[in-house]
Amino acid sequence: MRNYAIGDALARFMRMRGYNVLHPMGWDAFGLPAEQYAIKQNVHPRVTTEQNIANFRRQIQMLGLSYDWEREIDTTDPAYYRWTQWIFLQLFNSYFDLVDKKAKPIAHLIHELQNENLVVGPDGSVHLNPTQEGLEAIFGDMRIERLWRELDEAEQRAVIDGQRLAYMDDAAVNWCPGLGTVLANEEVIDGKSEVGGFPVVKQPMRQWVLRISAYADRLADDLAELNWPESLKDMQRNWIGKSVGAEVDFDIDPASIPPAGAGEDDGLTVTVYTTRPDTLYGATYMVLSPEHELVLRITSPGNRAAVEAYRAAVATRSERDRLAETKDKSGVFTGAYAINPVNDEKIPVWIADYVLMGYGTGAIMAVPAHDQRDFDFATKFKLPIKAVVMPDDGWLKSTMSGKWKTLEPRIASEEMVMSVADLNDVVREKVEEWSAEEQDRMAGLAQSGDGHLLNEMRRAYRNHPEAFGAAFAGEGIAINSLAINDLATAEAKERMAHVLAAEGTGRKAVKYKLRDWIFSRQRYWGEPFPIILDASGNPLAVPEAELPVTLPEMADFRPTGTMDPPLSKAKDWINVTVDGKPAVRETNTMPQWAGSCWYYLRFIDPSNPNRFVDAEKEKYWMPVDLYVGGAEHAVLHLLYARFWHKVLFDLGHVSSPEPFQRLVNQGTILGEPEYTVFETAEKRAVSAADVEMVYEAASDVAEAKMKSSGETVFPRRVDEADVERMKDGWVLKADPGIRVDSRSYKMSKSRGNVVNPDQVVGEYGADTFRLYEMYMGPLEAQKPWNTRDIVGMSRFLSGVYRNLVGDEEAGKTATITDGQIPDDLDRQMHRTIKKVGEDIESLRFNTAIAELIKLNNEIGRMGAEVPRALAETFALLLAPLAPHLAEEIWNRLGHGESLARAAWPKFDAAKLVETTLELPVQVNGKLRGTVSVPADAGEEQVLEAAVLVGSVKPWLEGKTLAKRIYVPKKLVSFVVK
C-alpha cells in the first residue's frame, strides 16, 4: 500500500505543477499465485480473480488514490491478452542478428539464407558464408557448412525454428511436481519454487523458450544509463553474469580410453572454459560435469562401475541437497587422461558435481593452486598442486602467519614440514616440536615482513603452494609458465590468448550465467499460446486476424498430476484443421510474467483495437518517468520487461530502448516489533547473547542453540511491558541478566502480524493512513509498523482542521481574515513552500510532512484569526499528501473548483532572507555561546562582536588568540593557547 500512497502524492504534486500525468492502475492476474489461491478455495480462478480485483479496487479507492480509471487494464481480459499473444508472435517471427546485435524479422533470415549470404553449420547453426568472405581457397575443399538449397524442407524448417526468439527446446527444465509445472530459473530459489516453496527437479521436457540470452550484453550494458538503485542494477548484472575468458581444447589421450567402437571417433577433444587462461600451466587435472556427454565414452573399464554409481547418485540428488554440500567435495576418476595443449602434460580426467553442466562447457581445467574449489578437491583426492602465479607479499605473510598460528603440532601435516624445511635458513626447529609460544612467535615473524624470510616464503610458495593451506585466486606475476613467465596477470591472459589462437587450440570466449527463459507452464490460468502444432509437431503461428486465442472455459482446471497441461483435456478446443489437415493447439500456457512484460505500454492507449499501442501516443509518453516497485522483481519482471521492450524496439514497434527511466524501490513494511526470550526445554530462560540460529543443511528450518552448551532452546514471545532497555540491549525486567531478542518480522498470516488497512482507515481515515505510511521514514527502507505512532498524524490533521475550519465540538469556527500575514509567519510559510516542494520532488515525504506540521503549529500559536492567503497556501501544500482534508478546507474557503488542478504555490526568495543571524561561537572546537549580528555584517564586525559575548569571554581570558575563523553565515570559531 505504501507505494500507492507515494505514487499518488507525487502524481498529484506533478499535476499541480502543470504536468500531464499518466497515473493508471491495472491488474496482473494470470499466473501461479492467483491459480494456487483458486485451487485452495476450490473456485474457478476467473471468479477468485474478479473477487480479488474488486476488493483491491475498493481498498485503493478508499484511500483516495487519483488513478485514471479509464485506463484500467486486466491482463486476463482477452482484449488485453490478444496483444500479449501478438507480441509473442513478434518473438516467434524474429531472430537475433549476430552482426547487428538486434532482432530482425525471420523473413530477413530466410532471405539471407536463400541469397547464400548465410550458410548452415553441421549442428544447424547459422553462419556467414565463408565463400562470401573470400576464404574459399582455404575452406573450399573441406567445407562443412551447407547452403540453403542443399537442405530438404524439414531441415530448412528445423534451421529456421531453431533461430526464432521464441523457440521450442528439449532442454532439462525445472520441473516442480508440487505445482505441476515447469519453472524459469528466476522462479527457483535455493532449489525450491518461489511460489509455495516446493522442491524442484531437473527433467528433460519439450518447452517454449525465449532467447533472452541473446540480449545478455545489451541488458547488462544499458543498465548504465538508467536512474535505478545501484543495488538493483547489480542484481541484474549479477544474474546476467557476464565473464570474459577463453576456451581451451584438451585432446584426450587415445591410449587412456577404450578403443573407438563402430561409428565412434578416436580423436576426442574436450573444450574447457576458463576466466584465467594465464593459469593454464597450473592445470593438474580436469573435471567434467557428471552429465557431460563424453563421460561414458572415455571411462576405462576398471573405473566404469564407480563412474556409473556416481552419476546415478548425482542424478537422484535434488538440486537442494547438492547445494547443501558445497564444502565437502566429491568425485571419481574416469581413468582417462587429457593432454594440456601448452606443455603436452597428461592430466587425469575426473568427474565431480562441483562442475555444472549448465555453465561454460560443462568441463574445467582444474588449477588447484589458484582456485579454492579445485584446491579443496585436490587436497581431498591427493592430486598435485602447482603454483603458476606468485601472490603479493601481503597474502604470503598473512597466509603463512595464520597457518602457523593455528597449527596443532602433533598433527602437523607432512606438507608443513616440507615447507618449513624450505624455510630452513630461518626456521631450524621442526614443526612438531613447536610450543604454543613458538607458534605465536613464528606467526609474528611471518607477519613481520622480514626481507629474508619473505624471500624464503616466495621460494616455498613456488615449490609447495599446498603448504599455505589455501588457493591464491588473486592477480600476480606468472611463474612456472614457460610462455608467459614474469608477466602480470592481465598481460599473461592476453599473451596466452595469442599463443592458443596461433596453435589453434583455444580462443577468447565470453560466457553468461543468464539462461534462456523457459516460457511454458503446464497450468490452466495463463495466456494460451497463439500456436498450432501440425502433424509432425512443427509450430505454426495463428494468423493475427484470428487473435485472441481465448482460454477455453473448463470446470476442471486443476493440474493433471502428470506432465500434461490441463488444457490437454479440452478436446474440442485443441483439435483444429489447418489447410484441411488435422492439427492441435499448443496446450501449455504462458507464465505469470507474460502480461506484465508490457502493461505499461497498454496503459498509454488501453482500448485501441488496432494496435497494441498507438505509435504517436507511445512516443509522447514513453519511457516511464518513475516506476515505484519492490526489489523482489529485480531478476523477474524487471528483466523480462526490459527484454520484451528491446525486442519491440528492434522491430520498430516502440521508440525507446528502455522502458523505465527512473525506478525506486519502496521498502516493505514489517510487523510491529516483537521481543523474544529463549528458554531451555525446562523453561529456564537463557540470554539471547548466548543463542545462535543453526540452519540445518538442505532445509530452511532454523534451530536456536546455546553457543556455550549446544543445547537447543525455544523462543517465546514476551510483552513489551516485561522488557527494558539496558546499555547494550533489551533485557527481561524480572531478570536483567537475560537478554531478549528484539526485531520486526515480515508481515505474514502465519505469524499473525498483518495489519488490515480497512481497519486503520475505518478508525483514523484515509488521509491519516496515507500520511502515516509516508511519515515512517525514507521510502527505500524497510520499516516496522507501529500502530501507536499513527495517532500523531491524526492529531496533526485535526489540528489543521481546527486552525483553518474550526472546532465543531467546541462550537468554534476559525476566522479567516483578509489581513496581512505577520512577518514571521510569512517567512515561515515561504520556507515551507520551498522545502515541501523540494522534498516531494526528491521523494522525501517524511521531511515534507514534518515541515507542514511545523507551519501548522505556528498557525495554531498565532491565535484565532488566520489570513486567507496563509490558509489557502496551506491547503494547497497539504493537497498531494492528505487530499481529502485539503479539498474540504479549499471548499470551505469558498472555492467551487477542486484544488487538484490548482497551481502549486510559489515561494518568494526575497522573503526567505533573514535580517539578523544567530551564529554559534566556538572556542577550541567547543560551543561556548551564540552571537546575534545583522545579516549583512562583515567578517571583522562579526568577530569583534563574538569576542564580547558574555559566555565566550571567560574562555578567552588569559589565553593567546591563535586563530580566528569566520565561516560566513554559519559560525565563528576561536583557537586559543
- Structural contact between residues 168 and 209, judged by C-beta atoms closer than 8 angstroms: yes
Q: Interacting stretch for RNA, rule CB under 7 A, among 66-74, 117-125, 351-359, 620-628?
A: 351-359
- Interhelix angle 883-892/868-878, nearest 10 degrees: 160
Q: Report angle CA 91, 95, 100 to the nearest 5 degrees.
A: 125
Rule CB under 7 A: choose which of 2, 276, 320, 403 binds RNA.
276
Residue of 130, 162, 623, 673 interacting with RNA (CB under 7 A): 673
Contact status: 967 vs RNA (CB under 7 A):
yes
Instruction: Report the run of H or E that residue 585 belongs to, with start and end.
Output: strand 581-585
According to DSSP, the β-strands at 865-867 and 916-923 are unpaired
**403-462 positions binding RNA, by CB under 7 A:** none
For residues 917 and 969, the answer to whether their CB atoms sit within 8 Å is yes
HSE at residue 167, side-chain half, CA atoms within 13 A, is 21
Give min distance, CB of 11 to RNA, in A.
22
The single-letter DSSP state of residue 112 is H
Q: If you ran DSSP here, which 8-state letter would residue 813 be given?
A: E
For residue 470, what is the DSSP state?
A: S
Shortest Å distance, C-beta 414 to RNA? 25
In this chain, which of 70, 100, 133, 230 binds RNA, going by CB under 7 A? Answer: 230
Q: Is 860 in the site for RNA (CB under 7 A)?
A: yes
At residue 32, φ and ψ (nearest 5 deg) are -60, -50
741-780 binders of RNA (CB under 7 A): 743, 775-778
CB of 383 or CB of 570, closer to RNA: 383
Shortest spacing between CB 22 and RNA, in angstroms: 29
DSSP string over 631-693: GGGTTTHHHHHHHHHHHHHHTTSSS-S-SBSBEEEPPPEE---EEEEEE-TT--EE-GGGEEE
Size (the chain), residues? 977
Q: For residue 36, state whether it binds RNA (rule: CB under 7 A).
A: no
Regarding 795 and contact with RNA (CB under 7 A), the answer is yes
Pairing of strands 575-578, 285-288: unpaired
Which residue, 89 or 246, has its beta carbon nearer to RNA?
246
Residue 18 vs residues 230, 871, 905: alpha-carbon distances, Å? 31, 22, 12
Is position 927 an interface residue for RNA (rule: CB under 7 A)? yes
Site for RNA in 361-390 (CB under 7 A): 361-362, 364, 371, 373
For residue 731, how many C-alpha atoms fall within 13 Å in the half-sphere facing its CB? Answer: 13
Residue 661 binds RNA, judged by CB under 7 A: no
Query: Is 687 near RNA (CB under 7 A)?
Result: no
Among 30, 354, 468, 529, binds RNA (CB under 7 A): 354
Angle, CA 181 vertex, CA 582 and CA 211 arms, to 5°: 75
Q: With CA atoms as reference, report the closest residue to 181 among 284, 307, 35, 320.
A: 35
Q: How far is the CB of 543 from RNA (least distance, A)?
A: 40
Q: Which stretch binds RNA (CB under 7 A): 198-206, 402-410, 640-648, 839-847?
A: 839-847
Q: Which stretch binds RNA (CB under 7 A): 2-10, 164-172, 232-240, 305-313?
A: 232-240
Q: Which amino acid does the sequence have at 84?
A: T
Residue 338 within binding range of RNA, rule CB under 7 A: no
Number of residues lying near RNA (CB under 7 A): 88
Q: What is the DSSP letter of 542?
A: P
Grid coordinates representing 894?
469558498
- 854 binds RNA per the rule CB under 7 A: yes
Select from 7, 24, 245, 880 the one that contacts RNA (CB under 7 A): 245
Q: Is 40 in the site for RNA (CB under 7 A)?
A: no
Q: Quick one: which segment of 108-116, 158-166, 211-219, 793-801 binds RNA (CB under 7 A)?
A: 793-801
Smallest distance, Å, CB 78 to RNA? 34
The answer to the question of residue 233 lying near RNA (CB under 7 A) is no
Told to check if 513 binds RNA by CB under 7 A, we report yes
Q: Is 671 one of the binding residues for RNA (CB under 7 A)?
A: no
Map the footprint of RNA across residues 861-900, applying CB under 7 A: 861
Q: Which residue has the cell 534451530?
A: 703
**Is there binding between residue 705 and RNA (CB under 7 A)?**
no
Assess contact for 520 and 588: CB atoms under 8 A.
Answer: yes
Binding part of the chain for RNA, among 394-402, 487-495, 630-638, 652-660 by CB under 7 A, reads 630-638
Cβ atoms of residues 462 and 479 within 8 Å: yes
CB nearer to RNA: give 324 or 420.
324
For RNA, the closer of residues 215 and 239 by Cβ is: 239
Applying CB under 7 A, among 37, 86, 198, 359 the residue interacting with RNA is 359
Does an H or E element contain 55, and which?
Answer: helix 45-62
Distance CA 874, CA 858 (A): 12
Using CB under 7 A as the criterion, what x/- string covers residues 493-512 for binding RNA? ------------------x-
Whole-angstrom distance, CA of residue 451 vs CA of residue 635: 50
Q: Which residues within the stretch 89-108 sit at the binding site for RNA (CB under 7 A)?
A: none
Can you tell me which of 712, 748, 782, 941 binds RNA, judged by CB under 7 A?
Answer: 782
Q: Is 275 in the site for RNA (CB under 7 A)?
A: yes
